[in-house]
Structure 1
Amino acid sequence: MSHHVPVAPAPGRRIPAHQLWEKEMLWAFLRFARATVIAKTDGLSDEQLTRRHVGSATTLGGLLSHLACVEYDWFANRLGGGDVPMPFGPEAPDGDWHPVDETGRAGLVTRYREACATSDDVIAALDLDSMGAQTDSDYTLRWALTHMVAETHRHAGYADLLRELTDGTRGW
């Protein structure tokens, strides 16, 4: 396996400024993590996106699919009151990790970006203490943003390792 020279940071992938207000800071760290995950898939073939390196179904394509689902679930559905169908449930608890409707990297990235744009509309419309459209729980936007920052950064770490295992590329 050859090691590639790390590529330059992807557009939109800048460490947030330290003087932002809380909502803008959380949102900026979420955008940073989103851009990182997308950048980790740059230049890969469809086969590489679905290559398994671990015992679970975790793949780079699966990460994009899963993250699109959780963006839609937390922001569009729970806080925004939408009804985006989720591919998981008691009969398929890991259904969101198996990209089936997308056509390769372009489709996966497009779906993820669309989910993020939908999330951003909800984030922009709500105050941090808002529970949005929820009627059966008490999650606030602050909680959902904090959760998604942690979740997306955690998965960006997985993407770092999966990318290195796929083609040796490390770094940004």
Structure 2
Amino acid sequence: MATFYTAGERAVLEGFVDVQREQIAALLDDLTEEEARLRLVPSLTTPLALVTHAIFVEKVWFHHRLAGRTRAEVGIPETVDESFVPREGETIASALGAYRAACEESRAIAAGHDLDHELQWREKSISLRYLYGHMTAELARHAGHGDILVEQIRACR
């Protein structure tokens, strides 16, 4: 990835999101299929679940809201909780492949809009600029959760 430290506004915003996308994908590095599914907290949060949720986040924001497609068209559940449940037969490789594909499509969708483009969210308008900030925060928060889980998993090996 090219450095974006002194780039223009859009490249900086895209760069921050891409850094966090890579942090999410890296959660599954060197984990076994069993470890990726370990539940160490009462919620549905596991390293694999964080990646499947990130797929949902990409699709709900970029594919559904920004591109204007229905949830059914992009294949996402109606509730956030459902997004933390890996699909039947989901593997680390299939989740990472789906995540990378979702991110690539998100980039392509966003490329067709300027930063001032507005989309609807909770009965208000938000800009693509705001969406990039939201995505950075969302992915960073979940990457942090995942870092802690992975640290615990590796300590128990």
TM-score (normalizing by structure 2): 0.88
Residue in 2 aligned with 1:51?
A: 38
- The one-letter code of the counterpart of 1:49 is A
Residue 87 of structure 2 is aligned to residue 87 of structure 1? no
Residue in 1 aligned with 2:52?
A: 65
- Alpha-carbon shift at residue 79 of structure 1 (Å): 0.7
CA distance in 1, matches of 2:20, 2:125: 25
Q: Cα–Cα, structure 1 residues 162 and 115, in superposed 2: closer, same or farther, change >3 Å?
A: same
Q: Cα–Cα, structure 1 residues 40 and 106, in superposed 2: closer, same or farther, change >3 Å?
A: same
- The one-letter code of the counterpart of 2:138 is E
Does the CA-based 8 Å contact 2:67-2:109 persist in structure 1?
A: yes
Does the CA-based 8 Å contact 2:116-2:128 persist in structure 1?
A: yes
Residue 13 of structure 2 is aligned to residue 26 of structure 1? yes
Q: Cα–Cα, structure 1 residues 76 and 149, in superposed 2: closer, same or farther, change >3 Å?
A: same
CA distance in 2, matches of 1:88, 1:107: 22
1:33-80, Cα deviation, whole Å (9 max, x unpaired): 111111121121111111011111100010001110011010111011
Residue in 1 aligned with 2:106?
A: 119
- Compare relative contact order (CA 8 Å, sep 6+) and give the higher one, 1 or 2: 1
- Higher share in helix: 2
- Alpha-carbon shift at residue 22 of structure 1 (Å): 1.3
CA distance in 2, matches of 1:101, 1:145: 31
Count of equivalent residues:
152
Does the CA-based 8 Å contact 2:51-2:95 persist in structure 1?
A: yes
- The one-letter code of the counterpart of 1:138 is S
Does the CA-based 8 Å contact 2:50-2:84 persist in structure 1?
A: yes
The 3-state SS of whatever aligns with 1:138 is strand
Does the CA-based 8 Å contact 1:102-1:108 persist in structure 2?
A: no
Structure 2: runs of 5+ lacking an equivalent = none
Residue in 2 aligned with 1:37?
A: 24
CA distance in 1, matches of 2:102, 2:37: 21
TM-score (normalizing by structure 1): 0.81
- The one-letter code of the counterpart of 2:9 is E
CA distance in 2, matches of 1:166, 1:77: 34
The 3-state SS of whatever aligns with 1:87 is coil
- Alpha-carbon shift at residue 101 of structure 1 (Å): 4.2
